[in-house]
Amino acid sequence: MSFQGLEQLPAGFVSVVIVNWNRRALLAECLASLARDQGVPFEVIVVDNGSTDDSVQYIQAFTRSAPYPLTLIENRENRGFCGANNQGIAAARGEFVALLNNDAEADPGWLVALLSVFADPGVGMAASKILVHEDPRIIDKVGHLIYPDGQNRGRGTGELDQGQYDQVEEVLWPDGCACMYRKSMLNTIGAFDEDLFAYGDDAELGLRARICGYRSIYTPYARVRHHRGATLGQLNPLRITLIERNRLLLAVKLFPGSLLWRNGAYYLARLLAGLWAALRKRGEISRFQSPSSKLKAFLALLKGDWQALQMLPSTLRKRRALKPLHRLSPSQVHQLILSHRISLKELSQKVAAPNQP
C-alpha cells in the first residue's frame, strides 16, 4: 500500500526511522520483519550514515518492490545516531515516529501495540519488549533505569523472561533501539541532542520529555528481537569516552540542583563498587583484564570528563533554554529519578547490553 502523494494521511499513520551503517545483511532482515502485518499504516525512512558496504545499493533495489512506502536518505559521512535519527524525524510525515535499530527485527503487530498506549494524550513515548535475538528467552531491555550520577542501564537486561514484565506500565523512558514517540512532542521539546553523537542519547531525550510533562509507557505486546552486537565494541575507548562524557552532560543539562551537587559522590560510590565487583570477576571493569587495557579505559574516562568540561558552557545554555518547557518541579524530577533508580549492586555487578552504557 502506498500513501505517496496523498494530502491527507490516515489517522495514526506511523513513520519508522531506521539508521544504517554498514550492516547490510542485518538491515535486510530488519526491513523484511516490517513486511509482516503491523496493523497500522506506516512508511519507512532509512538514513544511511555513509556505509562502505553495499547497503545503499540494496536499499535502492528493495525500494522498487517494497511492500510499504520507503524513503532513503544518504549521508556521505557518519553523522551518528543522533544526527541521522533527526534527519529521519524531520522527513517523517507520520503523527507518530517509531525508531528501529537496523540490527533488530520487529514481530508482527509491533507498531499497533506501541500505538495503542497513546490513547492517553499525556503519553509521549512508548517502550518495547526487546529480547535477545540469539536467545529470545533472555531480555535485552524493557525500558530504562538510571543511577543518580547520570549513568543509565536497561531495565531487565540479561534476565530470563518469565513473565515478570508482562504488564503495561510506566517506565522512565524507552530504549532507542525500538520505540515510538509522539511527533508533536518532538516538535515541542526538540529531538535528539546532536552534541551527544551516540550513547546516552535516548536517555537525554527521554528524561527531557519526562521533565516537560510527557509520560512513557511500556507494553509487552510490542516485541522486538535484537542482535546484541555493539556498534563500537564493549571495550572500545571511544565508547567509554562517549558514555562518560554524555553521562555528565545529561546530568548538567537535566538534573535538579539537589542531585547535581551530589554527582561526584554518587560517581565515586559507583567506581568503588565497580572496583570491588571486578576483584570478584564481576561487572564491567572485570572485562578489562590486562594492565594496558585498564590504563586505556582510565584514560578514556578522563578524556570524557575533559570533553564534558569543554562543552559545559553550551550545555548550561541548553539547560536555561529548556526551563520554560518544564512541567515538573525540581523536587518532582528528583523523585522521578530516584523512583526509577537502578541499585548500585545491580549496576556494578552486571554487564551492560552491548549497545548501551
pLDDT in tens, 279-309: 777 767 666 667 788 788 889 989 999 999 9
* pLDDT score at 283: 63
* pLDDT score at 2: 36
Distance (Å, whole) CA 282 – CA 133: 24
Q: What is the pLDDT along the chain (357 residues), one digit of tens a residue?
A: 333 444 567 778 999 999 999 999 999 999 999 999 999 999 999 999 999 999 999 999 999 999 999 999 999 999 999 999 999 999 999 999 999 999 999 999 999 999 999 999 999 999 999 999 999 999 999 999 999 999 999 999 999 999 999 999 999 999 999 999 999 999 999 999 999 988 999 999 999 999 999 999 999 999 999 997 545 455 688 888 999 999 999 999 999 999 999 999 999 999 898 878 777 777 676 666 677 887 888 899 899 999 999 999 999 999 999 999 999 999 999 999 999 999 998 888 776 655 555
* pLDDT score at 233: 52
Distance (Å, whole) CA 213 – CA 115: 19
Domains and CATH numbers, the chain: 14-226 (3.90.550.10), 237-349 (no CATH)
The pLDDT tens digits of the residues spanning 119-176 come to: 999 999 999 999 999 999 999 999 999 999 999 999 999 999 999 999 999 999 999 9
* pLDDT score at 273: 86
Per-residue 3-state assignment (H helix, E strand, C coil) for 96-133: EEEEECCCEEECCCHHHHHHHHHHCCCEEEEEEEEEEC
